[in-house]
Structure 1
Amino acid sequence: MTDTDERHDPTGSSRASEPAPRGGHPDDARLFGPEAVAKLRVALEEVTWLLGRGYPLRTAIRTVGDHHQLAARQRLALQRSACSEAQRASRLARRAPASSLRGAEANIDGFNLIITLEVALSGGLLVRGPEGVLRDLAGLRGSYAPIAETDSAIDLLGGALSDAGAARARVLLDAAVPSSGKLRARLLERLGGAPSSSGAPPSIEATLVPDPDRLLVGAAGVVSSDSVLLDRCACWINLADEIVAAHVPAARIVDLVPGDEAPGP
């Protein structure tokens, strides 16, 4: 699904004020308004500098967050997105377009992708990091349940796979996450006959496994925003970003890297 550092609040503060899982936080307009984003971009540069000199991520976030007096949700956005310059370069060197899936297999980090699309469809906040990846701040590890937007998210995935001409898609779901069996059933039901512009629909395999990351490390055609996988896969597809850009134009996205410094599509 994702690594622990990415999914949990870096401050350890109470989450009692958190809103419904996929929608926006009531303070997002203030925490991620123009002035706040400008500060976050500076903070991300400083975290990147510290990571490049061997500082642990949590230490870098705490140091920079304290210096800029960042709120817990802002620190979470940084923690989910930050990487060193070396990591960014390596990830971009192994990023492949969706068209590379034609006749090939997509290896999908199931909860990671579906939750990102659910958040986009629900009007929740997404942050785009240095390598161009969208990440949510929902913090749903261990508490997932399908919502009204789940079927739409699955349908968008099916359409993207068909448009790319993928021959097969392997969707891996963390068996320990609540409702993993329900999500698997819905994936198979809705994607089993997904139409394909290239002819036959892609073959879909949705599997409950103890540790999706272990099976995705070293794989090609990986679809995930998990930092561990982006650092260790053979190649990856920025499919969530492509889907959201094409089908959810009103999605709430905060770019933590200025446009002139962001990676191309």
Structure 2
Amino acid sequence: MKRGCNMGEVVRRGYVPSDSKEFNEAALQILNNAGEDLYYLLNRNYKIKGASTLIGNHYMLSERQRLALVRAISSQADLEIRKMKECQSPIEEVNIDGFNTIITLEVALSESLLVKGMDGTIRDLAGLRGTYRLIDKTRIAIQYLLETLEEKGIKKAHIFLDAPVSNSGRLKQLILEMSEAYPLEVRVEVINEVDAVLSGLKGVVSSDAIILNKCESWINLNASIIEEKIPSSWCIDFCN
């Protein structure tokens, strides 16, 4: 199987026309202030849903702006948990949250909005909701994932895909076909409880906050791929 090549419908994954206005320079100043307030409330044990609603109403934020804050802002306690579990030395085996990883890379390749959270992970605002289709960015996303695994010396990759999501079988087949061109042992499983399984594993590749809090250890692979291979991506940084 040749490395690279494109396929699928031409789509800008995660693109919303109003983002250019809702996340312009003036809006980002408001969002930064809102983020500081949300961080304050989370550190005083407010639940994220209630706190984000309170802050969103106060600053009159749109739904997309509120979602960006929820994806980006974490309590200090959660940040410390994730930092403690983040792999700092090379590892040879990873367990990958398949849709979480590939969709974020597709969004990056589409130059649609991403947010870099306080924990250093990069998250999209696309939302899966049970539907997925392969697009023209899918192959290059998989290519970048496999290339990065090889470059980092990873020998085994276990990729988990959510069974209830449409086209999970087609994505599995494509990943396996493309992986034949790389010196990696790649397994792909389509299962019902991806989050629950990953929450009990080590060497996890995901940006899902709940998984990161529960898993044994994790690697911030998405950020590495996007920052090294997709410099044209549009990412708002809440990390600093």
TM-score, length-scaled by structure 1: 0.84
Q: Distance in 2 between matches of 1:153 and 1:217?
A: 24
Q: Secondary structure at the match of 1:254?
A: strand
Equivalence for 1:123: 111
Moved over 6 A (4+): none
- Write the distance in 1 (CA, Å) between the matches of 2:14 and 2:96: 24
Q: Among 178, 183, 196, which residue is 1:190 paired with?
A: 178
CA distance in 2, matches of 1:34, 1:189: 43
**Structure 2 counterpart of 1:219:** 201
| Corresponding residue for residue 98 of structure 2 | 110
Structure 2 gaps of 5+ residues are: 1-10
Counterpart contact for 1:165–1:202, Cα < 8 Å: no
**What's 1:74 paired with?**
65
Deviations 1:16-63 (A, max 9, x none): xxxx76142111121111121121112112112211222111100100
Identity %: 41
- Aligned equivalents of 2:128, 2:110: Cα separation in 1: 14
Structure 1 match to 2:41: 50
What SS does structure 1 have at the residue aligned with 2:94?
strand
Do the aligned residues in 2 keep the contact of 1:171 with 1:206 (CA within 8 Å)?
Answer: yes
Gaps of 5+ in 1: 1-19, 195-200
Q: How far apart in 1 are the matches of 2:12 and 2:207?
A: 18
In 2: Cα distance, 1:161 partner to 1:140 partner? 24
In the other structure, the counterpart of 1:33 is 24
Contact 1:21 1:140 in 2 (8 A): no
Q: CA RMSD in A?
A: 1.3
Q: How far apart in 2 are the matches of 1:240 and 1:141?
A: 21
Give the one of 122, 130, 133 matched to 1:142: 130
* Cα 1:141–1:21 shift into 2, 3 Å: farther
Distance in structure 2 (CA, Å) of the matches to 1:125 and 1:250 = 11
The equivalences for 1:1-265 within 5 A come to 22-97=13-88, 100-101=90-91, 104-194=92-182, 201-257=183-239, 262=240
Aligned to 1:11: none
Q: Distance in 1 between matches of 2:196 and 2:236?
A: 30
Measure the CA separation in 2 of the matches of 1:58 and 1:178: 28
In 2, Cα distance between the equivalents of 1:166 and 1:77? 31
Measure how far apart 1:73 and its partner are: 0.6
Q: Cα offset for 1:113?
A: 0.1
TM-score, L = length of structure 2: 0.92
